[in-house]
Amino acid sequence: VGFVLPKSDEDTLNVARWALLSVVPVARLLKTLRRFEKFHLLVMSFRLAAEALPILLYTLLVITLVFAAAIYAVEPRDNIASLPKAMWLTIVTMTTVGYGDVVPQSTQGSVVVALLVVSSVLYMAMPLGIIGEAFTRVWRDRDRIILMERARHKLDQWGYTAHDIPVLFQTFDSSGNGQLDLIEFNRMIFEMKLGLQEDRIIKLFELFDPSGSGAIDDRAFIRVLFPGAYYEIYGCRPSVQGKSMW
């Protein structure tokens, strides 16, 4: 879809031109993310790695400033006229971009940049490795994570909250033992109109019953899908074994 702007004064159309030609295409492209169910796995990977990133970014800043100061000290002023320019050379070198617009001209500068290249290769392997390992963990567990997200979305779509789960379990607990077997759980999901297929319901049940006991209670359901509300409802924190890491 293209946009045709009417002929008018250039100043009056600046905002409209910027919005139509810059913002709208990006917004339309971002709307397509709704069709990519696994996109949130990437976001979850960064969330897992975020705990270690601040100290790594701080170390990166220290390395950048130290080498930038060294480059600024040994390079002639007609090549590196300011510290920000030395920092630019340091950053593009550390990220292995290497634009080539700024290069060391002195022997001392070349030695400093050579040390920077070796140091940055060794250092950059750490944050990239952390993010890569986090994504590997998430991708390996993608089926369970996606199923949990689908269940949460369906529950929220139909207006169910964590506080409704104990009542629902009592309603569909035909045996009166405080637990639901697979048949009772299947009937509950069907009556809740969550729209999950039978194979998905079985996998969801197995997710709440990792020990294979054949029955689950409302605590197990809430502990996995709504770990944040578990303490509010039951007055205690989820056990380490059952606590959801997602």
> Nearest-CA neighbor of 3 among 18, 19, 21, 15?
21
* Per-residue pLDDT, 9: 55
Which residues touch 180 (CB under 8 Å, ≥6 apart)?
A: 169, 172, 173, 188, 215, 216, 217
Q: Where are the beta strands (DSSP E) in 122-206?
A: 180-181
**What DSSP assignment string belongs to 40-87?**
HHHHHHHHHHTTTHHHHHHHHHHHHHHHHHHHHHHS-TTT--SHHHHH
Decide if pLDDT at 112 tops 80: yes
Decide if pLDDT at 66 tops 90: yes
Q: What percent of the chain has pLDDT over 70?
A: 87
Whether residue 156 contacts residue 232, with contact meaning beta carbons closer than 8 Å, is answered with no
pLDDT digits (tens, 9 = 90+) for 186-212: 898 888 877 778 888 888 888 888 888
Residue 63's pLDDT band, with cuts at 50, 70 and 90, is very high
Q: What is the DSSP letter of 34?
A: G
Whether residue 145 contacts residue 246, with contact meaning beta carbons closer than 8 Å, is answered with yes
* Per-residue pLDDT, 179: 92
What SS3 class is residue 119? helix
pTM of the model: 0.56
Stretch 146-162: mean pLDDT: 80
